[in-house]
Structure 1
Amino acid sequence: MDELHRPFVRKLDALAPLHAADKVALAAIEADAQHFPSGTDLIPDGGRAEGMIVLVEGYACRYKLRKNGRRQIIAYLVPGDVCDLDALGLDRMDHAIGTHSNCRVTRVEPNVVSDLRRRPAVAQALQTAARVDEARLRVWLVNLGCRSAVERLAHLFCELFMRLREVGLVNGNSYLLPVIQHDLADTTGMTPVHVNRSLGALRRAGLIARKGKHLTVLDLPRLMAVAEFDPGYLQLGSGRRMGEIASSWMEPPI
Structure 2
Amino acid sequence: MHDPLAGKLSRYVPLSVADRMWLAEALGPARSIAARADIIDEGDDPHAVNVILEGWACRARQLADGRRQIVSLLLPGDSCNPHIFLLDRMDHAISAVTPVVYASIPGAALESLTARSPNLDRAFQREALATAAIQREWTVSLGCRSGIERLAHLFCEMRARLAAVGLATRTTCPLPLTQHDLAHSLGQTSVHINRTLQELRAQGLITLRSRRLTIHDPLRLAELAHFDPAYLHFTVGMDPPPVEA
> Could you tell me how far apart the structure 2 residues matched to 1:168 and 1:109 are?
27
Deviations 1:2-60 (A, max 9, x none): xxx22111100111111110012223456832111111211111112110111111000
Aligned residues: percent identity?
41
Cα shift readout 1:187-239 (whole Å, capped 9, x = no counterpart): 11111010000011111111110112111111111110000000011011356
State the one-letter code of the partner of 1:227.
A
| Pair 1:203-2:201 in alignment | yes
CA distance in 1, matches of 2:28, 2:97: 21
Counterpart in the other structure of 1:84: 81
Q: d(CA) in 2 for partners of 1:30 and 1:92?
A: 22
Offset from partner CA, 1:89-128 (integer Å, 9 cap, x none): 3121111110001111001112211121121000000000
**C-alpha distance in 1 between matches for 2:78 and 2:121:** 15
Structure-to-structure mapping, 1:110-125, within 5 angstroms? 110-118=107-115, 119-125=117-123
Match of 1:248 in 2: none
**Contact kept? 2:28, 2:105, Cα under 8 Å:** no
Shift of the 238–203 alpha-carbon distance from structure 1 to 2, 3 Å rule, reads farther
Aligned equivalent of 1:50: 47
Residue 191, structure 1, aligned to residue 189, structure 2: yes
Give distance in 1, aligned partners of 2:17 and 2:55.
Answer: 26
Name the counterpart of 1:250. none
- The 1:28/1:218 distance shift into structure 2, 3 A limit, reads farther
Paired amino acid for 1:117:
T
2:221 maps to what in 1?
Answer: 223
1:30 and 1:56 in contact (8 A); partners too: no
SS in 2 for 1:130: helix
The correspondence of residues 21-60 of structure 1 with structure 2, limited to 5 A, is 21-29=18-26, 32-60=29-57
Asked if 1 retains the 8 angstrom alpha-carbon contact of 2:13 and 2:122, the reply is: yes
**1:140 maps to which residue?**
138
- Give the CA deviation at 1:142: 0.5
1:152 is aligned with what amino acid?
Answer: R
- Amino acid paired to 2:178: I
1:72-111 matches, within 5 Å, as 72-111=69-108
Task: Tell me which residue corresponds to 1:168.
Answer: 166
Q: Determine helix, strand or coil for the equivalent of 1:151.
A: helix
* Greater RCO, 1 or 2 (C-alpha within 8 Å, sep 6+): 2
State whether residues 177 and 214 of structure 1, in contact with CA within 8 Å, keep that contact through their aligned partners in structure 2.
yes
Give the whole-Å Cα distance in 1 for the aligned partners of 2:82 and 2:28.
19
Q: Does 1:13 align with 2:4?
A: no
Q: When you count helix as a share of all residues, which structure comes out higher?
A: 1
1:154 to 2:152 alignment: yes
* Alignment size in residue pairs: 242
Contact 2:36 2:95 in 1 (8 A): yes
